[in-house]
Amino acid sequence: MKNVGFIGLGIMGKPMAKNLLKAGCKLVVYDINADPVRELVAAGAKEGKSSQDVASQSEVVITMLPNSPEVKDAVLGEKSVIQGAKPGTILIDMSSISPIASKEISEKLKQKGILMLDAPVSGGEPKAIEGTLAIMVGGPHETFENVKDILGAMGSSVNLVGEIGSGNITKLANQIIVALNIAAMGEAMVLATKAGVDPEKVYRAIQGGLAGSTVLDAKMPMVLDGNFKPGFRIELHIKDLMNAIDTANELGSPAILTGRVLEMFQALKAEGKGRNDHSGLVQYFEKMANVEVRKKK
């Protein structure tokens, strides 16, 4: 395994970095929050003092940050990756950001001889912990092959889908489908509850049919328990859908349903629920119908 730097140790980044340690990577880590850094150092990683310091010690640098501005700052700003990386270093940005931003960052890195892949993930915190994320990669085939083993330590499905930016296009498509699935689930289960039918029984009845899905199986049990502890926060899904709409507008592609679900998420955020899991979207429909979709006691 290569010397790997990891920048961004949040809900997703911390378990991903731990899986790289388990796979035998020599890991240097950095985050603005000291607590996860200490935890990774205790597990065997080395502490980096800045993004620049991490890059100076690494053949491959991974970033896992909230959005485009944070990635640009860590990669192109002061004490950043571009200032510490040697020519031939590979940056894998695993954040979910605008594909336009991915291309801009890649072009600036290319001028310094630094290679880049955009490789956002799907699966949330549980799959990050398990090391079974779906990883969608954009960039040169040769670069991808060079780091496929590193990505495989964090994900069970690792696919190159096209040139730089394609990973984030794929992630936006994923996030649209997930959001619309959750909205459909919430609307349907509120209907069942309002009609006096046990929503858990409805879920079990449709689980194996055409309406069954990974989203349904992951999120419906949380709704039934009233458990909206985040695996993936509403405020982060808002960010992804805004990136999706911006990209759709840039390309002249319709985003009608995406826009409607975005409004629902934003309404919940305005009520102070932005840090709820995105399964909490059901609360939008519950409020309108004055019912709660919960297990029968």
Examine the pLDDT at 62 and tell me if it is beyond 90: yes
**The domain boundary residue, chosen from 162, 192, 222:** 162
Q: Does residue 102 share a domain with residue 72? A: yes
Rounded Cα distance between 38 and 54, Å, is 15
Rounded Cα distance between 225 and 279, Å, is 11
pLDDT, tens digit, for every residue of 226-247? 999 988 899 999 999 999 999 9
Q: 1 pLDDT band (50/70/90 cuts)?
A: low
Is 187 part of any domain?
yes
Residue 74's domain comprises 3-162
Is 229 part of any domain?
yes
DSSP conformational letter for 233: B
Rounded Cα distance between 67 and 96, Å, is 6
Examine the pLDDT at 276 and tell me if it is beyond 90: yes
Cα angle 244, 286, 229; round to 5: 65
Give the mean pLDDT of the chain. Answer: 97
**280-285: average pLDDT:** 98
**265-273: average pLDDT:** 98
DSSP H/E element including 90? strand 90-93
DSSP conformational letter for 80: -
Catalytic residue among 14, 18, 127, 171: 171
Tokens of 211: 């309406």
Is 189 part of any domain?
yes
What CATH number is associated with residue 285? 1.10.1040.10
Which pLDDT score is estimated for 124?
86
- Concerning whether 171 is annotated as a catalytic residue, the answer is yes
DSSP conformational letter for 277: B
Tell me whether residue 175 is exposed, middle or buried, using C-beta atoms within 10 angstroms of its C-beta: 0 to 12, 13 to 18, 19 or more: buried
Q: Does residue 147 share a domain with residue 45? A: yes
pTM value > 0.85? yes
Q: Does residue 144 share a domain with residue 57? A: yes
One-letter identity of residue 71 = V
**103-125: average pLDDT:** 96
Examine the pLDDT at 297 and tell me if it is beyond 80: no
Is 194 part of any domain?
yes
133 within 8 A of 123, measured Cβ to Cβ: yes
Which pLDDT score is estimated for 287?
98
Is 297 part of any domain?
no
